[in-house]
């Protein structure tokens, strides 16, 4: 059966050719091709061998073999977030699927469109505790947007199209397609994308002009407005970022963003307040606390943003624009909830704003006092730190990395921890889809494989994983993937030999008892890079840092950069447990270990 398929030119697989019955594995690849899939991140195994066999004969789809299935999903996430396309993963049954679970949960929390194909044991063996069997649809039910166990090859191509539709529409998310091995051999006819059922999975209601008018009413009346934007603006595509820029410039409203939304609004713009939340800027958090109108766009009032809920922005009216109706009024009650696509809603708001301004000019000076208040907060320079000329401060390292990569096509991924917060504070983004970080799930080990995915999508770009010494070891094996596929990612490790954020919390919450947060036997990252066949670079003093960073940028091979930084630096500012947005701790604050109440200690 396969010989016939192999002869057929892949591009001509249309019309009459479709009437030919093919194996499930071929149907899967046909469907992926029709969906425009260029890259698959995967790892072969017994239950997906027929698919790999079919893949062997096609060069239309590039396959990148990772070293662990978690890495495959993170790489697909990096690919998806940097391109706006759906990331595709292919793993085997049993351990292949369970290893992918962390990545799927990560993609669900960050709303990243992923289609993950898992092999399954043959239908007759399901439920018999067969070799490498697990209940994949059961295990992944709560960490995917949707999942399928494919009952027969007849349904397979239709399901694939449906899965892509679900993954990318509405609030995006991961979809698992579990394909039993005998279905991969079974012959059936192809269902084209146009003929496949489009599940009416997310109903995005049309623009409600009444709501838009109400929103603009509130905006024109506001004296202390703030735009609070999130990852939803990035997910809504380039047009949404453009709409946000227009909206902010025409209204003159200041903009802050969550960790997930960085880049949607340019950090170089005078209306930019910086990131908000637990480690956000003073001006952003104070503006959120003191505003009289908050316009939340594609953000979900996460606990890392709101801090203490009963003290969150007490005096404001709140407008919440989100594509997911269940996000509205979930954590914070809002006055006006608008369900819709961020870009489309903002465009409607701009149109209404212009109509109203033409009728009756907007009284711009009404926000002057607010602007000068923001300038006073901004002059406090809350991200500042005490630099040192003997040892490298982590913030300084990021600042230099930022400065030395200007004028290049840069994408940044991160792991999770202190380095992630410093990167968010000191590496500034002017464009969307340039910043890939695990915001919701907080997955250590995300950045290295995500960087692979970004690099695979943008072969000529400079892709940097800003990492910590602990996080990077969780998925370090993907260095091997980087070498195999010549993906010249730069892994910039801020090495403080600690689980830095754990150490910081132990200092603040647990009386400085650093229980199991020190890495006593770190690998020599330079030698490790060498062992993988990559390039290892170490910087230990501020004076050599610039030259070493330039060396890293100039090398066209994967680099492990061991940036040895001061060990006991904390991320500031910080909203400590038990405090509201307007009660922040700043750098140099004397920390006693009593900053947090017993209640606060109990929570993450």
Residues with active-site annotation: 69, 131-132, 181, 501
Min separation Cβ 315 and another protein, Å: 18
Indicate whether 402 belongs to the interface with another protein (CB under 8 A). Answer: no
Q: Which region, judged by CB under 8 A, interacts with another protein, from 327-335, 416-424, 519-527, 537-545?
A: 327-335
Q: How far is the CB of 596 from another protein (least distance, A)?
A: 8
Interface with another protein (CB under 8 A), residue from 201, 404, 461, 553: 201
Structural tokens at position 474: 């969780």
Chosen residue from 141, 381, 513, 527 binding another protein by CB under 8 A: 141
Q: What Cα–Cα distance (Å) separates residue 266 from each residue in 130, 244, 270, 273, 589?
A: 53, 10, 9, 10, 30
Q: How far is the CB of 2 from another protein (least distance, A)?
A: 30
For CA atoms 493, 494, 495, 498, the dihedral sign is negative
Which of 27, 149, 466, 529: binder of another protein (CB under 8 A)? 149
Does residue 160 interact with another protein by CB under 8 A?
no
Binding to another protein by residue 38, rule CB under 8 A?
Answer: no
* Member of 53, 250, 324, 431 binding another protein (CB under 8 A): 324
List Cβ<8 Å contacts ≥24 apart for 504-511. 504/418, 504/570, 504/571, 507/570, 507/591, 507/593, 508/570, 508/574, 508/576, 508/591, 508/593, 508/595, 508/596, 509/577, 509/593, 509/595, 509/596, 509/600, 509/601, 510/593, 510/601, 511/593
Encoded tokens for 366? 């009404």
Q: Does 500 bind another protein (CB under 8 A)?
A: no
Q: How many residues belong to the site for another protein (CB under 8 A)?
A: 38
Contact status: 326 vs another protein (CB under 8 A): yes
Q: How many CB atoms lie within 10 A of CB 12?
A: 9
112/491 with CB nearer another protein:
112
Cα–Cα distance for residue pair 47/14, rounded to 1 Å: 29
**Cα gap 224→194, rounded to integer Å:** 49
> Do residues 248 and 255 touch, judged by C-beta distance below 8 A?
yes
C-alpha dihedral, 235 to 237 to 241 to 246, nearest 10°: -130
Q: Within the chain, how many helices (H) and strands (E) appear?
A: 23, 20
Instruction: Give the residue with the Cβ less far from another protein, 54 or 580.
Output: 580
Counting contacts by CB under 8 A, is residue 600 touching another protein?
Answer: yes
Site for another protein in 161-200 (CB under 8 A): 166, 171, 199-200
Residues 280-319 that bind another protein (CB under 8 A): 303, 307-310
Stretch that binds another protein, among 95-103, 349-357, 467-475, 572-580 (CB under 8 A): 572-580
Nearest-Å Rg of the Cα atoms of the chain is 25
Looking at 95, 237, 252, 325, which residue binds another protein (CB under 8 A)? 325
Chain residues binding another protein by CB under 8 A are 137-138, 141-142, 145-147, 149, 151, 166, 171, 199-202, 303, 307-310, 324-326, 328-330, 575-579, 596-597, 599-600, 602-604
């Amino acid at each position: 059966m396969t010989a016939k398929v192999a002869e057929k030119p892949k591009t001509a697989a249309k019309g009459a050719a479709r009437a030919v019955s093919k194996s499930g594995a071929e149907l899967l690849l046909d469907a992926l091709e029709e969906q425009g899939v260029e890259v698959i991140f995967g790892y072969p195994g017994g239950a997906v061998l027929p698919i790999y066999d079919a893949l062997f004969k096609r060069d239309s789809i590039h396959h990148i073999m990772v070293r662990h299935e978690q890495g495959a999903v993170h790489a697909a996430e990096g690919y998806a977030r940097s391109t706006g396309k759906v990331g595709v993963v292919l793993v085997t049954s049993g351990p292949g699927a369970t290893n992918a679970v962390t990545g799927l949960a990560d993609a669900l929390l960050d709303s990243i469109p992923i289609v993950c194909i898992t092999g399954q044991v043959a239908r007759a063996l399901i439920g018999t505790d067969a070799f490498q069997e697990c209940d994949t649809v059961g295990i992944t039910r709560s960490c995917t947007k949707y999942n399928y166990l494919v009952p027969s090859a007849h349904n397979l191509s239709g399901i694939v199209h449906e899965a892509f539709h679900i993954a990318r529409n509405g609030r995006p998310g991961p979809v698992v397609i579990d394909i039993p091995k005998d279905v991969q051999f079974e012959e059936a006819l192809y269902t084209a994308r146009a003929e496949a059922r489009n599940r009416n999975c997310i109903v995005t209601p049309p623009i409600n002009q009444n709501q838009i008018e109400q929103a603009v009413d509130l905006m024109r009346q506001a004296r202390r407005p703030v735009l609070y934007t999130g990852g939803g603006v990035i997910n809504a595509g380039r047009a949404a970022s453009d709409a946000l820029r227009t909206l902010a410039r025409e209204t003159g409203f200041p903009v802050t963003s969550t960790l997930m939304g960085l880049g949607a609004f340019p950090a170089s713009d005078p209306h930019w307040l910086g990131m908000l939340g637990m480690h956000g800027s003073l001006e952003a958090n104070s503006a959120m606390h003191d505003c009289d109108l908050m316009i939340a766009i594609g953000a979900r009032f996460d606990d890392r943003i709101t801090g203490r809920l009963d003290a969150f922005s007490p005096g404001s009216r709140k407008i919440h624009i989100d594509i997911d109706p269940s996000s509205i009024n979930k954590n914070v009650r809002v006055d006006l909830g608008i369900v819709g696509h961020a870009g489309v809603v903002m465009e409607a708001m701009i149109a209404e704003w212009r109509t109203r301004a033409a009728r009756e000019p907007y009284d711009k000076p009404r926000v002057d006092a607010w602007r000068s208040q923001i300038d006073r907060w901004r002059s406090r320079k809350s991200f500042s730190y005490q630099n040192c000329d003997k040892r490298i401060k982590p913030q300084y390292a990021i600042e230099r990395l930022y400065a030395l990569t200007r004028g290049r096509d840069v994408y940044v991924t991160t792991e999770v921890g202190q380095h992630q917060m410093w990167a968010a504070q000191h590496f500034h983004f002017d464009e969307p889809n340039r910043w890939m970080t695990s915001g919701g799930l907080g997955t250590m080990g995300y950045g290295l494989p995500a960087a692979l995915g970004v690099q695979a999508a943008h072969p000529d770009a400079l892709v940097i994983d800003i990492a910590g010494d602990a996080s990077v070891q969780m998925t370090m094996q993907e260095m091997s993937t980087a070498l195999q596929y010549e993906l010249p990612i730069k892994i910039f490790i801020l090495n403080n030999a600690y689980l830095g954020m754990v150490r910081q919390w132990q200092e603040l919450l647990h009386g400085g008892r650093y229980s199991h947060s020190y890495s006593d036997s770190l690998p020599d990252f330079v030698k490790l890079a060498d062992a993988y066949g990559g390039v290892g670079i170490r910087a230990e003093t501020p004076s050599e840092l610039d030259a070493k960073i330039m060396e890293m940028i100039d090398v066209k091979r994967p680099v492990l950069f061991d940036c040895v930084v001061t060990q006991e630096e904390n991320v500031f500012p910080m909203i400590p447990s038990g405090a509201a947005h307007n009660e922040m701790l700043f750098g140099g604050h004397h920390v006693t270990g009593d900053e947090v109440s017993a209640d606060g200690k109990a929570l993450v």
